[in-house]
């Protein structure tokens, strides 16, 4: 209801099925001045029963090539990681999930991730390597994803 009253630029979100508040579909518009510009990327946001104590999961259903999105479409960003200490010591607790996060803060973080990938902690090692070592090939592969997203 809040998103309908105050839409946020760059994405739209809503329930997949009006009877199920735990499964949402989001449409992310590729951010301007990025390789993703012009794309329409669909994803599913699935909330656990103990939300907001635990984070939702975000999975792209549209093909997308990105260092922080694994090959099955699962998004790997700090604010979607379980709250508390990171057993690997990479993330500070305040970077991880906090119950104050909303769909809006999650989506703003995802749009930021598209704009500025974190290749230091990749979910897709091949995309991260290409992002670091062969930006022109990375852009070509993303351009194919953008074209495909426009067709569906």
Our answer to whether residue 76 is catalytic in this structure is yes
* CA torsion through residues 125, 31, 42, 79, sign: positive
Give the pLDDT confidence score for residue 90 in this predicted structure: 86
Give the pLDDT confidence score for residue 123 in this predicted structure: 96
Strand partners, 58: 45
* Token pair recorded at residue 75: 């998004």
The CA distance from 9 to 64, in Å, is 20
Give the pLDDT confidence score for residue 127 in this predicted structure: 98
Total-model pTM: 0.92
pLDDT tens track for 53-104: 999 999 999 999 999 999 999 999 999 999 998 888 889 999 999 999 999 9
Residue 116 has pLDDT above 80, yes or no: yes
2-151: CATH class: alpha beta
Catalytic residue among 43, 58, 76, 123: 76
């Amino acid at each position: 209801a809040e998103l309908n009253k105050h839409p946020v630029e760059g994405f739209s979100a809503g329930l997949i099925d009006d009877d199920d508040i735990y499964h949402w579909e989001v449409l992310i518009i590729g951010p301007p001045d990025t390789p993703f510009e012009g794309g329409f990327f669909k994803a599913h946001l699935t909330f656990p029963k103990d939300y907001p104590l635990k984070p939702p999961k975000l999975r792209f259903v549209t093909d997308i090539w990105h260092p922080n999105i694994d090959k099955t479409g699962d998004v790997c960003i700090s604010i979607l990681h379980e709250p508390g200490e990171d057993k690997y010591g990479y993330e500070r607790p305040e970077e991880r999930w906090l119950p104050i996060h909303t769909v809006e803060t999650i989506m703003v973080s995802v749009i930021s991730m598209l704009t500025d990938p974190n290749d230091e902690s990749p979910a897709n090692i091949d995309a991260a390597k290409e992002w670091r070592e062969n930006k022109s090939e990375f852009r070509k592969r993303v351009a194919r994803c953008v074209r495909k997203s426009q067709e569906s």
